[in-house]
């Protein structure tokens, strides 16, 4: 570069920012290697933190037979492909790609390595060596919505999300529907910030939702930042992915905890035993993948009873928030009275229910 | 729109603006001395973790801010030694500093993730700071007032002081400044250290004020916005202030539009994808650059020696 050109510099800077850190948990050549592709930093105290807990569970349970390798901060674009491929070339027999946005990248690398097994989190495309697994986070959202609908004074709830992907759409809809069961007039203002992890933007979005009249804000992004804002303002919210009560002792009503360990251990064991097959697993509260953290003292006893009722209903199969009639934002009936949405319908949902306020 | 909503929104915009204003002011001084330091993101993260760690250890956020400034300045010295002593390429070295700062801050932060630290109290009585109207003036973190005070100070320093004149001379014509006896390298060391300290304080605004916690990469790219801001401002202090608030306003507008703040009252505005607002700071920087260069006075705005190594002939 002979002359200085700031525009090209900014481009180079962007490219540099995509560089990721590679971490190796243990070293031993005779062990079966298992790789993990992580979306955020393992210290995000949310989504990736929970997945890393699952990885640590594999180490703890099968550490004498397997070794785990992870790559964190992997972007959901073409740059994921060489990183997934690198794990396969390092000899990993099983690779977990832990976010929806790695779907086609996982399939592309899986086609190159037919002997390596892949597991794509929250996706729906499977092949002989690509399995998918998901968690029914929306069951947890129904519990949060029940609490929010009952406790909100303004009836205006905030939902801070990342992207319009099925997991988030399901979360928004379950939250809104459950809130409307408690308060039929409840509305949910939705902000999708186009990022899973951006604490300052999450904080500013939370402030904006509060300024627009929301008195309870639930987050579907991965940092505890929004809870800290709610704590400062004396309002309420919920933890995402992990118990975040340490960051907001008063504002943190409860949290959805993602428990990946049992699934990861079972799948790693299947590789060790040679019994792995491509499956689609979508566990929830019943199986213990989605867990509701302890309630804050601020949740009144009658609200606790309602929330526990939703949990019990999911565990014994008597409750499903996606039971019709369900209307979309324009008031069109999408699910008829008495019908329950199928898993296929849930997995590809792309519309919001009535009462969700959002822009493009 | 109620006055309370407008005031609350201004408070949000000021929160979005302050870190990029701090880092932008630092980078402005660095670039005025003729050094392009692309390591702002890394220095901000180093400041964020340094401030957080010092606050966690001393329970004193004021010491934390000093620590943040020191952390940013120390990491900038790494860059300074490489580009001033060894004449390495400023662009490559700056990018390396960004990557290095990101990595080192993550490493230092491992044992501080999930820790809670004391926060700044308000420097004004609660009657003023918590009042729904008066908080517009009194309801901010001390760092906000610091950032605002630094704007006229920086302008005064560059325009009206002898030291500021020397700094600009070094940035505009290093050989002339050298020939009349000024230490080009010394001035640049100081300018880089100031840039690092300000970026560090800007970073601490994230880890100590907005969301008082440590999380890896928590500045989430604001360092690059600060760099764009300096170009957008045409290396002028006043425009830097205006630009910082303009960028902050655009960041707020994106979130406001997404939360359907416009409602159905402005269907035209509502139809604009929110990604449009997110891209605006960068689009505006390109527009500003185009305007500056179309007037043919690029040389008059960017320091003439920006990015060039100083190699004295003797």
pLDDT digits (tens, 9 = 90+) for B75-84: 999 999 999 9
Residue range B237-249, pLDDT digits in tens: 999 999 999 999 9
Q: Find where tokens 């605002």 sit.
A: B148
- ipTM for the whole predicted complex goes beyond 0.85: yes
User: What is the Cα–Cα distance from B120 to B165, expressed in whole angstroms?
Assistant: 36
Residues A191, A296 within the same domain: yes
Mean model confidence pLDDT for chain B? 90
Query: In 10 A of CB B110, how many CB atoms?
Result: 11
| B110-149 residues touching A, CB cutoff 8 A | 110, 113-114, 116
Which of A211, A213, A250, A358 is the mutation pick for testing B, counting most B CBs within 10 A? A211
Q: Both A337 and A353 in a single domain?
A: yes
A60 lies in some domain: yes
Q: How many residues does this entry show for chain A? A: 360
**Helices of type H across B114-141:** 126-129, 135-138
For residue A2, is it within any domain? no
> Can you give the pLDDT at residue A17?
44
B312 assigned to some structural domain:
no
- The β-bridge relationship of strands A333-335 and A252-258 is unpaired
- The single-letter DSSP state of residue B38 is T
Task: State whether A75 and A85 are in the same domain.
Answer: yes
Give the nearest partner residue to A6 out of B214, B231, B256, using CB atoms: B231
Domain boundary among A220, A251, A283: A283
**Which range is least confidently modeled, A270-274, A304-308, A345-349?**
A345-349
Domain enclosing residue B178, as ranges: 3-301
B186 within some domain: yes
**Is A255 within 8 Å of A238 (Cβ atoms)?**
yes
For residue A150, pLDDT over 70 is answered with: yes
Task: Judge contact between A25 and A67, C-beta under 8 A.
Answer: yes
Please give the average per-residue pLDDT across B221-246, as a whole number. Answer: 92
Do B91 and A229 lie within an 8 Å CB cutoff? no
Q: Is residue A4 situated within a structural domain?
A: no
How far apart CA A267 and CA A279 sit, in angstroms, is: 10
pLDDT at A12: 46
In chain B, the percentage of residues whose pLDDT exceeds 90 is 63
Q: How many CB atoms lie within 10 A of CB A282?
A: 16
Any B CB within 8 A of A71 CB: no
pLDDT in tens, A279-315: 999 999 999 999 999 999 999 999 999 999 999 999 9
Rounded Cα–Cα distance for residues A247 and A185 (Å): 31
Same domain, A250 and A271: no
Chain B contact set for A158 (CB, 8 A): 259
Q: Choose among B19, B99, B255: nearest Cβ to A208.
A: B255
- What mean pLDDT is predicted for residues A126-144? 94
Gap between the Cα atoms of A147 and B221, Å rounded: 35
Do A151 and A244 lie in a common domain? yes
Q: What is the pLDDT of residues B155-183, one digit of tens each?
A: 999 999 999 999 999 999 999 999 999 99
Side-chain half-sphere CA neighbours of A212 within 13 A:
28
Residue A11 lies in a domain: no
Residue A268 shares a structural domain with residue A122: yes
Q: Is residue A189 part of a domain?
A: yes
Interface test with A, best of B88, B210, B271 (most A CBs within 10 A): B210
In a domain, B66, yes or no: yes
- CA atoms of B92 and A217, how far apart (whole Å): 42
HSE, CB side, 13 Å, CA atoms: give it for residue A170. Answer: 23
A191 in the same domain as A56? no
Region A270-283: mean pLDDT is 93
- Count of structural domains, chain B: 1
User: Whole-prediction pTM value?
Assistant: 0.85
Structurally, how many domains does chain A consist of? 2
pLDDT confidence band for A196 (50 / 70 / 90): confident
Domain span holding position A171 = 137-259+289-357
CATH code for position A53: 3.40.50.2300
CATH of the domain at B87: 1.10.3470
In a domain, A198, yes or no: yes
């Amino acid at each position: 570069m002979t002359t200085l050109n700031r525009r090209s510099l900014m481009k180079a800077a962007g490219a540099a920012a995509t560089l990721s850190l590679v971490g190796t948990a243990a070293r031993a050549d005779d062990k079966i290697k298992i790789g993990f592709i992580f979306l955020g930093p393992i210290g995000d105290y949310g989504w990736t933190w929970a997945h890393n807990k699952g990885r640590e569970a594999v180490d703890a349970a099968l550490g004498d037979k397997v070794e785990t390798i992870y790559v964190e901060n992997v972007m959901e674009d073409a740059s994921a492909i060489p990183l997934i491929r690198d794990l396969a070339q390092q000899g990993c027999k099983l690779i977990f790609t832990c976010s929806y946005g790695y779907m086609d990248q996982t399939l592309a690398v899986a086609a190159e390595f037919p002997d390596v097994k892949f597991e794509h989190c929250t996706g729906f495309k499977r092949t002989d060596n690509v399995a998918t697994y998901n968690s029914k986070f929306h069951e947890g959202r129904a519990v949060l919505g029940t609490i929010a609908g009952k406790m909100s004074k303004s009836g205006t709830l905030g939902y801070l999300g990342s992207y319009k992907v099925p997991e988030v759409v399901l979360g928004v809809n379950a939250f809104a529907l459950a809130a409307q069961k408690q308060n039929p007039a409840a509305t949910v203002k939705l902000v999708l910030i186009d990022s899973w992890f951006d604490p300052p933007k999450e904080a500013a979005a939370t402030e904006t939702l509060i300024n627009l009249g929301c008195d309870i804000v639930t987050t579907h992004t991965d940092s505890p930042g929004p809870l800290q804002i709610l704590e400062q303002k004396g309002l309420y919210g919920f933890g995402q992915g992990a118990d975040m009560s340490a960051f907001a002792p008063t504002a943190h009503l409860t949290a959805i905890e993602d428990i990946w360990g049992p699934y990861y251990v079972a799948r790693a064991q299947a590789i060790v035993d040679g019994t792995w097959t491509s499956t689609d697993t979508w566990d929830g509260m019943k199986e213990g993948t989605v867990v509701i953290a302890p309630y804050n003292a601020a949740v009144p006893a009658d609200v606790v009873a309602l929330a526990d009722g939703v949990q019990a209903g999911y565990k014994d199969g008597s409750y499903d928030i996606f039971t019709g009639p369900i209307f979309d934002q324009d008031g069109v009936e999408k699910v008829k009275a008495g019908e329950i949405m199928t898993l296929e319908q849930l997995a590809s949902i792309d519309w919001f229910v009535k009462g969700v306020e959002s822009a493009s | 729109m109620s006055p309370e909503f407008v005031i609350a929104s201004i408070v949000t915009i000021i929160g979005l603006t302050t870190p990029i204003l701090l880092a932008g002011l630092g980078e402005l001084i660095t670039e005025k001395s003729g050094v392009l330091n692309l390591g702002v993101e890394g220095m901000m993260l180093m400041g964020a973790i340094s401030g957080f760690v010092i606050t966690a250890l001393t329970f004193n956020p004021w010491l934390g801010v000093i620590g943040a400034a020191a952390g940013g300045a120390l990491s900038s010295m790494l860059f300074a030694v490489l580009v001033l002593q060894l004449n390495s390429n400023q662009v490559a070295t700056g990018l390396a500093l960004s990557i290095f700062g990101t990595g080192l801050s993550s490493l230092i932060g491992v044992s501080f993730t999930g820790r809670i630290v004391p926060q700044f109290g308000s420097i004004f009585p609660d009657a003023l700071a918590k009042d729904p109207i008066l908080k517009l003036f009194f309801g901010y973190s001390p760092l906000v007032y610091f950032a605002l005070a630094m704007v006229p100070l920086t302008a005064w320093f560059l325009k009206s002081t002898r030291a500021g004149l020397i700094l600009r001379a070094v940035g505009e014509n290093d050989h002339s400044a050298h020939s009349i006896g000024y230490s080009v390298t010394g001035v640049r060391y100081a300018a880089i250290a100031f840039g690092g300290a300000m970026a560090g304080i800007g970073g601490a605004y994230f880890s100590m004020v907005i969301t008082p916690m440590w999380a890896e990469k928590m500045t989430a790219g604001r360092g690059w916005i600060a760099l764009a801001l300096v170009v957008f401002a045409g290396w002028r202090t006043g425009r830097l202030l205006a630009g910082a608030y303009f960028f902050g306003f655009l960041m707020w507008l994106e979130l406001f539009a997404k939360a359907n703040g416009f409602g159905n009252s402005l269907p035209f505005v509502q139809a604009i994808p929110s990604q449009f607002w997110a891209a605006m700071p960068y689009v505006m920087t390109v527009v500003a650059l185009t305007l500056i260069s179309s007037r043919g006075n690029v040389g008059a705005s960017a320091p003439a020696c920006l990015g060039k190594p100083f190699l004295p002939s003797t």
